[in-house]
Amino acid sequence: MRDRPAPLRSPLLTTFAAGLLFALASCSGGELVGVHVRLAADGSGTLTTRALLDDQPAAPAEPRAAGVQWDLRASLVASQGTFTDIGQLKLGDGGVTFTPQLDGERPGLRVTLARGPKTPWIETLVPDQPTRRRLAKAYDPTGRTKEIADVLRIEVQAPGAVITSGVLPNGRGVTADREGDRAFLLLPLRTALEEGDPFVWDISWMKRD
């Protein structure tokens, strides 16, 4: 197995291994991985990343079982940390940057995301396609799910109701949308791994009194 970059980490970090969650009810099997930013009005906030990993240490259930040979193991690792200035926040060796505009009646945030094969920030979140297809068997033992973590979900929880959420360039399956105080960007891995200009995602929200 080739070496992969370590999962995204940030200062003041707490981590937990969530096994391969049967959960994350807000996410489908395709959207298991991604980045969530909870942003305060002063530019500080909380960062959470979710990465799909394989070949992790044995789960507690394994050594206590008998009559079974374990041959597939996957983990969804969630990492969370805090930041004081989102303008200084960078992910994946600078592959994801954040440019805030927090003054005025309509604050906003620009997120720039590098794309292309072997992009570090993507590799920290997901393994390659053959591995994701193999791990799908553990996520969904029924066999209905053929591949997992094939969509990156980037979400910003703003300090006010989101007004706009738009991304350029367009691409196959790329979706920018909003709901309440959340803006989210869905990037299919197939599109994100294609050569091209970085994705530029702009959001704005209503300033609270």
Q: Where are the domains of the chain?
A: 14-205
- Give 179-184 contacts, CB < 8 A, sequence gap 24+: 181/157, 181/205, 182/155, 182/156, 182/157, 182/158, 183/155, 183/156, 183/158, 184/153, 184/154, 184/155, 184/156
Task: State the pLDDT at residue 6.
Answer: 52
Report yes or no: 72 and 138 within 8 Å, Cβ to Cβ.
Answer: yes
Residue spans of the chain under pLDDT 70: 1-30
CA angle, residues 31, 60, 8, in degrees to nearest 5 = 40
Distance separating alpha carbons of residues 137 and 71, to the nearest angstrom: 11
Task: State the pLDDT at residue 13.
Answer: 37
Task: State the pLDDT at residue 184.
Answer: 97
Distance separating alpha carbons of residues 2 and 55, to the nearest angstrom: 12
Using left for φ > 0, alpha for ψ between -120 and 50, and beta otherwise, residue 93 falls in: left
Chain centroid, CA 92 distance in Å: 12
With a CB cutoff of 8 Å and minimum separation 6, the contacts of 51 are 7, 8, 33, 76, 77, 78, 79, 124, 125, 126
Q: Per residue in 63-72, pLDDT tens? A: 999 999 988 8
Q: Per residue in 1-31, pLDDT tens? A: 444 555 444 333 333 333 333 333 344 456 7
